[in-house]
């Protein structure tokens, strides 16, 4: 058994571990491309990888509601967007991420990726907005993933806490740091508290009702 195969056997035996697992870039590529994990979401940062297998109903529902609300807001305010669900972004040999939702906004949509391959960040711009829906992964989303997205140099990074319907949002700084925000800069000063209120109401409303309420608040 060669060195990589031996290492992969060890990693596979620990595949059910939670958290970020140490591995090389080449091993990560092999692990993430195996057919039995084609439904998993993979992340790689600073020599470690993390994966998520499938999502629950609450996660999927909030994901859908957020997409609906952002679309309605951009239609109302004539903001051009191009959105992606579970799109993979890769900086070869360095990092990979697969956010729940990502957007290119305004003039940058002309440079948004358009092929079926994993987005190569050495050849493409990173998205303007990245959103992670946190059900069981809140600590990772606010911690290591935030550092990953700072280094990826996205415009903004939002974490939506499914359990409490709270949004923690950051503007990514050119210096690779980040700062908390209460309004989105890339989406024309959208108040995140308004999105939070809509998400709270989603427990008692269907998607159409939530959308109608949200639009009434934008008048």
> What tens digit of pLDDT does each residue of 114-139 get?
988 899 999 999 999 999 999 888 99
Residues near 90 by beta carbon (within 8 Å), at least 6 away in sequence: 96, 118, 119, 120, 121
Q: Token pair of 47, please?
A: 């020599």
* Both tokens assigned to 215: 């639009």
Residue with more model confidence, 170 or 35: 170
pLDDT for 7 equals 39
Instruction: Note the pLDDT of residue 19.
Output: 86
Residue whose C-alpha is closest to residue 132's, from 173, 86, 76, 77: 86
Domain chopping of the chain, boundaries: 3-53, 57-217
For 57-217, CATH gives 3.90.1570.10
| Packing angle, helices 25-32 and 3-13, rounded to 10 | 60
Task: Report whether 65 contacts 202 (CB < 8 A).
Answer: yes
Q: Is 173 a residue whose pLDDT tops 70?
A: yes
- The structure's pTM equals 0.90
CA angle 143, 43, 121 (to 5 degrees): 105
Q: Strands 89-91 and 119-120: what pairing? A: parallel
Q: Rounded to 5 degrees, what angle do the CA atoms 218, 158, 145 make?
A: 170
CA angle 23–84–127, rounded 5-degree value: 70
Nearest to 50 by CA among 79, 74, 21: 21
pLDDT band at 18 (very low <50, low <70, confident <90, very high): low
pLDDT in tens, 71-92: 999 999 999 999 999 999 999 9
Percentage above 70 pLDDT, the chain:
92
């Amino acid at each position: 058994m060669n060195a990589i195969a031996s290492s992969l056997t060890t990693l596979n035996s620990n595949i059910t571990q939670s958290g970020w697992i140490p591995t090389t870039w080449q091993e990560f590529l092999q692990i993430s491309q195996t057919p039995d994990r084609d439904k998993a979401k993979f992340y790689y940062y600073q020599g470690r990888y993390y994966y998520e297998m499938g999502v629950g109903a609450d996660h999927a529902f909030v994901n859908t509601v957020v997409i609906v609300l952002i679309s309605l807001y951009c239609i109302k305010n004539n903001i051009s967007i191009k959105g992606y669900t579970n799109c993979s972004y890769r900086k070869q040999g360095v990092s990979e991420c697969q956010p729940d939702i990502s957007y290119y906004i305004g003039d940058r949509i002309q440079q948004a990726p358009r092929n079926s391959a994993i987005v190569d960040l050495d050849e493409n711009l990173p998205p303007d907005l990245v959103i992670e829906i946190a059900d069981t992964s809140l600590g990772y989303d606010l911690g290591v993933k935030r550092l990953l997205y700072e280094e990826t140099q996205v415009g903004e990074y939002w974490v939506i806490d499914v359990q409490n319907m709270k949004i923690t949002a950051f503007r990514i700084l050119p210096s690779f740091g980040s700062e908390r925000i209460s309004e989105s800069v890339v989406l024309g000063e959208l108040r995140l508290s308004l999105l939070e209120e809509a998400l709270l109401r989603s427990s008692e409303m269907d998607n159409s009702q939530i959308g109608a309420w949200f639009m009434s608040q934008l008048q």
